[in-house]
Amino acid sequence: MHRARKLEPLPDNNGYFGQYGGQFVPEPLQNILDEITTAYNHFKDSPGFKKELSDLRKHYVGRPSPIYHCRSLSSKLGGGQIYLKREDLNHTGAHKINHCLGEALLAKRMGKKKIIAETGAGQHGVALATAAALAGLECDIYMGEVDMEKEHPNVVRMKILGTNVIPVGMGLRTLKEAVDAAFEGYMKDPINQFYAIGSVVGPHPFPMMVRDFQRVVGEEAREQILELTGRLPDYLVACVGGGSNAIGLFSAFLDDAAVRMYGVEPSGKGFKTGNHAATLTLGKPGVIHGFKCYVLQDAEGRPLPVYSIASGLDYPGVGPEHSYLKDIKRVEYRTISDSEALDAFFELSRVEGIIPALESAHAVAYAMKMARRMDNHETILVNCSGRGDKDIDYVAAKYGHQYGIN
């Protein structure tokens, strides 16, 4: 059993969750980050900001997202009862709109003209482009040329939304170079621009701020599951890339000592192949992108290349709060492989009529594994972080033959 005492509210004033987090950045940037922290702390409790955010959550995003009891899947597995928090039903199809909306509203209140970010597969880019269009802000999204070709529909979406997609042609022309280019673009004019980080990563205050904007997922879910089942869930499960959808769900239950939590990382093609992104499972504490966390790194401390079938999960760092929750053993971190995630992707589609994002399929796969070993009165609440529309062409072309569709 976990101890029942309440966890301290974190981060501390310097942005630390235990030994993780902080601001490992040059001094001029520290000043800018402090300014964002001050503005955030000011607006987050102001009635005007809160009202605007909650109205948009309701009327624009479509919140609260429902909780759905997967009766057929649960009875087929013959064990615990699986419930899904349906973040896939949000406008734009995933949980990312929750923090993008918050960041865009904050940028606007701070008098910024433009929000900028990098994107890999384009999911963060599309959510941010959407929030920028809504808030009446300009938006620059930096994207590697290789990714632009691979993720063409998302490039078109961003352009339709009025965003300026900036191709990055350096190095491998993927996410890492896009981060470098976006950062360079940002530093040219930090007065008029706001860098919107896409997960609970980066220097303070981003891990705190993005968590707070995602916490609505857990707060709604807690109320909804109590109403549906009359008690708290026995287990929570969510996939972890940077960790924003997971912390959004977990943070509302951290004081409920009886609720056990699992974060699911991708073991990709298997640990032995090196093609994975199991940061909390195999990484060591280190500094990446301006903050301290578990990092997948080589002997010299350089970040290792990462891989997952789900492009939203392949990051060699992870949120500092997850790093802390692992060390204090409040959350357990497990892995699911590409092929297990694919099986879950098809199983949820065929048994429940819900096509999950490949990222979310990792959480579903782990919940399915757990459910088989559980009693049928026990409950698992899974964060279905996004819908799988973005993945169908890739899955059909690459794996369709294994599942009878090509």
Ligand X SMILES: *Cc1c(COP(=O)(O)O)cnc(C)c1O
Q: Which residues are tagged catalytic?
A: 70, 95
Is residue 61 within the footprint of ligand X (CB under 6 A)?
Answer: no
Is there binding between residue 221 and ligand X (CB under 6 A)?
no
Near ligand X in 296-355, by CB under 6 A? 312-313
Closer to ligand X by CB, 252 or 374: give it: 252
Binding of ligand X by 96 (CB under 6 A): yes
**Under rule CB under 6 A, residue 102 binds ligand X:** no
Q: Which is nearer to ligand X, 275 or 383 (CB)?
A: 383
Nearer to ligand X, 94 or 208 (CB): 94
Segment near ligand X (CB under 6 A); pick from 15-23, 157-165, 236-244, 371-379: 236-244
Size of the site for ligand X (CB under 6 A): 18
Closest to ligand X by CB, 79 or 85: 85
Q: How far is the CB of 363 from ligand X (least distance, A)?
A: 9
Give the type of residue at 343. D
Shortest Cβ 248–ligand X spacing (Å): 8
The residues, any chain, with a CB within 8 Å of residue 298's CB and separated by 6 or more, are 304
Closest residue by beta carbon to ligand X:
386
Q: Applying CB under 6 A, which of residues 262, 386, 391, 395 lies at the interface with ligand X?
A: 386
Residues 6+ apart with CB under 8 A from 116: 139, 140, 141, 142, 182, 185, 186, 193, 194, 195, 196
Place of tokens 């959808």: 245
Q: Is 132 in the site for ligand X (CB under 6 A)?
A: no
Q: Which stretch binds ligand X (CB under 6 A): 46-54, 111-119, 135-143, 237-245?
A: 237-245
Which residue stretch of 51-59, 240-248, 287-295, 329-337 sits at the interface with ligand X (rule: CB under 6 A)?
240-248
Q: Which stretch binds ligand X (CB under 6 A): 20-28, 73-81, 235-243, 373-381?
A: 235-243
> Residues in the site for ligand X, rule: CB under 6 A?
94, 96, 123, 199, 239-245, 312-313, 357, 359-360, 385-386
